[in-house]
Amino acid sequence: MAVCTMSYTHLPATHQPRLRRSNAAPASQQVVDNPQAETTTRKVTRWAESLSHHLHLHVEPPSSHAGGQNFTRDIWREYDEKLSSPVMSPKEDISQRWKEIQGFSDWEGLLEPLHPWLRREIVKYGEFTQATYDAFDFDSFSEYHGSWKYNKHKLFDKLGLTKHGYKTTKYIYAMSHIELPHWIERSHVADAWSRDSNWMGYVAVSDDEETRRIGRRDIVVAWRGTVVPCEWFENFQSKLEPIRKGESKVEHGFLSIYTSKSDSTRYNKSSASEQVMREVMRLVNFYKEKGEEVSLTITGHSLGGALAMLNAYEAGSTIPDLPITVISFGAPRVGNFAFKDELDKLGVKTLRIVTKQDWVPRMPGLVFNEALQVFDEITGTLEWVYTHVGTELKLDVCSSPYLKKGMNFSGIHNLETYLHLVDGYLSSKVPFRFEARRDVALVNKSSDMIVDELRIPHCWYQSANKGLVCDDHGRWVRPKREPDDVPSPTIEAHNHDLAVELQAYDVNVNGLLSCIKL
């Protein structure tokens, strides 16, 4: 796909909201009751302390008390006002400027300050990615550990995401042919749903109303990432291997997850790559045959951001003239300079949201990275050097008065922390915006990042009674899932084929009716 050379009028300048300058002092260290979580916390802290100097993160050490004098009455008043206001502002019609929002001009003039239209879209795609965590079965004692909790027809309804106007069309499963202990979840139960595969994401598409608002039919692919970032350093396989013929190379752990398959598995007889591309091409062809303009937006956090880049590379190489945008959060480097150059030639637009205290985006390639480009005249292009791709939006944990400051690297890397910072970001030169509407409590869903003064429990997002229910005999047991929430490759394939047939039937009927009217 050729790089678009058209120019677009920039979005209108926005009114600058009133600002209040206040900073929260460092908070007390996280207290973890669960022994396994406590072990993870110690590992995170240990790696944080050993790497912080090398990575030049300059994080503030936690103090003996949270908040203190710096957590002012103004912040309390602001937080109280947020509690009585909606969590979302009214949606804007961006149909005339969607190409600029999607990065056709590399987001020139939209990041400093961050335009509210772009902010809303970033948060929307971030919430699609967060859904891959919220609906994932993390219970290692569940027979469905590593799968989804809700089938694709329930997903957005269960997670409160119907407001975005998309519907899920397909789930994606992945496996790996190399050992990645904490990137592919394994169940402790003997009769687990799968010993090889994990639910890694889904494909969704905008409905008619959202399509009119955003100016095109938008296909979304959301990829799940990793949960415990300390494993990045401990288990990282920083080895580049060719992705196709030529000089493009990518990290082989990422590529293995994206392309691995086996006839002996139930869910990965086809790879994640084959699953997602079949569905994307089906949707693109279906809506283009109806005469619609179509875009592909791929999003992911952490490992999911890396898989999003591989997905974008394949889609750009396979489907001509398809606008492709990647919105990633806390994503690592994926490939070398040749990989970056090919993505640029394919016209793929990438917006990387990173936090300066998060060290996952600095990996792989802690030393050998794009910074060595200054030596190109001496060394030539180095095939084994990692580089980031696209445009960067850099956030700062210290900008938010609601977040603790310290070496909580798991909390810093958490996607909800990222979405909170995006919602409050105006520019690198001004404080956290008062008008940020997203619920601050969401940050602590699976972390301990909110200052203790707000009294939000840490890691509060969990099933009631941790998934146990009281049966008719008064015993606490693990409930059976409803039949349509049980992973089954046969049923899923049948339902998907049926949906495709109904979709095709709808097109034929509408076409026939049009001919009759003529």
Q: What is the pLDDT of residues 323-352, one digit of tens each?
A: 999 999 999 999 999 999 999 999 999 999
Instruction: Give the whole-number percent of the chain exceeding pLDDT 70.
Output: 70
∠ CA 320-324-328, nearest 5°, is 150
User: 391 — alpha (psi -120 to 50), left (phi > 0) or beta?
Assistant: beta
Residue with structure tokens 């090889």?
A: 196
**Average of per-residue pLDDT across 285-298:** 97
Q: Specify whether the CB–CB gap between 87 and 448 falls below 8 A.
A: no
Q: Is the pLDDT of residue 505 over 90?
A: no
pLDDT, average across residues 420-436:
92
Q: Per mean pLDDT, which range of 41-55, 148-162, 241-255, 293-307 is the poorest?
A: 41-55
pLDDT of residue 16: 40
Asked if residue 57 has pLDDT above 90, the reply is no
Closest CA to 363 of 415, 413, 398, 403: 413
Residues known to be catalytic: 302, 358, 413
pLDDT at 81: 66
Number of residues that this document lists for the chain = 518
pLDDT band at 363 (very low <50, low <70, confident <90, very high): confident
Q: What percentage of the chain exceeds 90 in pLDDT?
A: 54
Which pLDDT value is given to residue 422?
A: 97
**Res 226: pLDDT:** 80
Report pLDDT for 485. 87
For residue 314, pLDDT beyond 90: yes
The model carries a pTM of 0.81
Per the prediction, the chain carries an average pLDDT of: 81
Q: Is the pLDDT of residue 373 over 80?
A: no
pLDDT of residue 355 exceeding 80? yes
Tens of pLDDT, residue by residue over 223-269, are: 999 865 555 555 555 688 999 888 899 998 899 999 999 999 999 99
Of 62 and 217, more confident: 217
432 Cβ partners below 8 Å, 6+ apart? Answer: 399, 400, 401, 424, 425, 426
Q: CA 115 to CA 369: how far, in whole Å?
A: 30
Q: What is the pLDDT of residue 18?
A: 38
Residue 420 neighbours by CB distance under 10 Å: 27
What type of residue is 387? T
Rounded mean pLDDT, 93-108: 97
For domain 64-456, the CATH superfamily is: Alpha/Beta hydrolase fold, catalytic domain (3.40.50.1820)
pLDDT digits (tens, 9 = 90+) for 131-140: 999 999 988 8
